[in-house]
Amino acid sequence: MNSMAALLVIVACHPQDTTCLQDPVAVISYETDEACYTALPTELKRARAMADIIYGDCFPVNSELVAGREIRQTIDPGKLAALDVPPATAGPAAAQALMPPVLAER
């Protein structure tokens, strides 16, 4: 018997800034972490239609937290519009290095 389930969490970030939206773009439950990782590429591709910079990962949770429920929560599209607003700058933009996301420890 598998006692672990998984939540897929996807966040969107501004393409020219270091900020990401506080609310995730999507939170989706899966019965196993394998099912979550199988769905991850498809869900990331779907989310990239909403924003250019998308990060996502699967996080193991106690299966009792999602037992009998299907969680699929998505962000209000109005909040994604904040990513299209250029950040206010007082002068020339400073160079920024983009780093790949750090995977959560399992």
Query: Is the pLDDT at 76 greater than 80, yes or no?
Result: no
In a domain, 63, yes or no: yes
pLDDT tens for 41-61 read: 999 998 888 888 889 999 998
Domain residue limits at 40: 4-77
Q: What is the mean pLDDT of the chain?
A: 77
In a domain, 37, yes or no: yes
In a domain, 87, yes or no: no
In a domain, 19, yes or no: yes
Phi-psi map region of 68: left, alpha, beta (phi>0 left; psi -120 to 50 alpha): left
In a domain, 103, yes or no: no
Alpha-carbon gap, residue 57 to 6, rounded angstroms: 10
pLDDT at 93: 53
In a domain, 62, yes or no: yes
CB-count burial class (<10 Å; 0-12, 13-18, 19+) for 11: buried
Query: Is the pLDDT at 33 greater than 80, yes or no?
Result: yes
Q: How many domains does the chain have?
A: 1
In a domain, 86, yes or no: no
Mean pLDDT of 20-39: 89
In a domain, 94, yes or no: no
N-terminal to C-terminal alpha carbon distance within the chain: 19
